[in-house]
A and B are shown apart, each in its own frame.
Chain A
Amino acid sequence: MVEWTDQERTLIANIFANLDYEDIGSKALARCLIVYPWTQRYFGGFGNLYNADAIMNNPMISAHGVKILHGLDRAVKNMDDIKNAYATLSELHSEKLHVDPDNFRLLSDCLSIVIASKMGYDFTPDLQAAWQKFLTVVVFALGRQYH
């Protein structure tokens, strides 16, 4: 089981309390598809991904980015048992979606960068540490059921 300090719990709760899912979710997924173009392999049915502008303005991608970001909510609600909270989602990503788990790490990095852009100096090193620890735990849980 992952151990969280009180400070970490507070920092993470604060990020979610102020999170603009529509803005951050859409930007994070779009950035991932642009910066790591091989991730587009999972989005064949999502319309025009021809260039960065097309991706940034693609409504299907935006909507999906928001959906993915909301996927983190269950971790916030189950901080002390993230591994089990993501068991079914992990199976889904492995058995049905066939997503290489390394992609979760790539998306996490883009998410951190988008949040850093928005928060500026408020994205302190301690906040970054807590946030990235949180994402690492979620990413691990999502990869847990692959076999």
Chain B
Amino acid sequence: MSLNAKDKGLITGIWSKISSKAPELGAEALGRMLTVYPQTKTYFSHWADTSPGSAPVKKHGAVIMAAIGDAVTKMDDLVGGLSSLSELHAFKLRVDPANFKILAHNIHVTIAMYFPADFTAEVHLALDKFLQNLALALAERYR
């Protein structure tokens, strides 16, 4: 489901709106995912604390959100732009791609909480398509 011009406009629009809070949103989304979908904690057995608001969650949430922000600038060629991240996820992290969808849902919930007026159904649609395409690009090198 590729992005049309309207989707791209909505995505850059919402991202510029939320970018100043991106680290906080990332931490919130990641913390929620680990709480609401406990099976995702299996990837973080090396963290002392996987609870929302903990230091590793805050740090890693910010990392993830910054990478997504970077992907927004590479929207026209996600596969090319994310190839090294894809290699990382394929060969080192080996995160089951089903989890990308789970994180995406929690990103939607978090943005809806923080920016209810801006997260309209059309923005939700565009962002969902973008995150799905991002997930596909991230899984590109898996097999």
A117-B116, A119-B113 known; A31 vs B121 contact (CB < 8 Å): yes
What is the size category of the interface that chain A forms with chain B? Answer: 20 to 34
Among the 9-residue stretches B12-20, B31-39, B77-85, the one with 4 or more Cβ atoms under 8 Å from chain A is B31-39
A35-B128, A125-B35 known; A120 vs B113 contact (CB < 8 Å): yes
Provide the residues of chain B in CB contact with A35, threshold 8 Å: 121, 124-125, 128
* Residues 46-67 of B contacting A (Cβ, < 8 Å): 52
Provide the residues of chain A in CB contact with B125, threshold 8 Å: 34-35
The number of chain B residues with a CB under 8 A from chain A is: 20
A128-B32, A128-B35 known; A118 vs B121 contact (CB < 8 Å): no
Starting from the known contacts A113-B112, A128-B32, 10 additional A-B residue pairs (CB-CB under 8 Å) come to: A35-B121, A52-B120, A52-B121, A112-B109, A114-B112, A116-B113, A117-B116, A119-B113, A128-B35, A132-B36
Q: Measuring CB to CB, which residues of chain B are less than 8 angstroms from any residue of chain A?
A: 31-32, 35-36, 52, 105, 108-110, 112-114, 116, 119-122, 124-125, 128
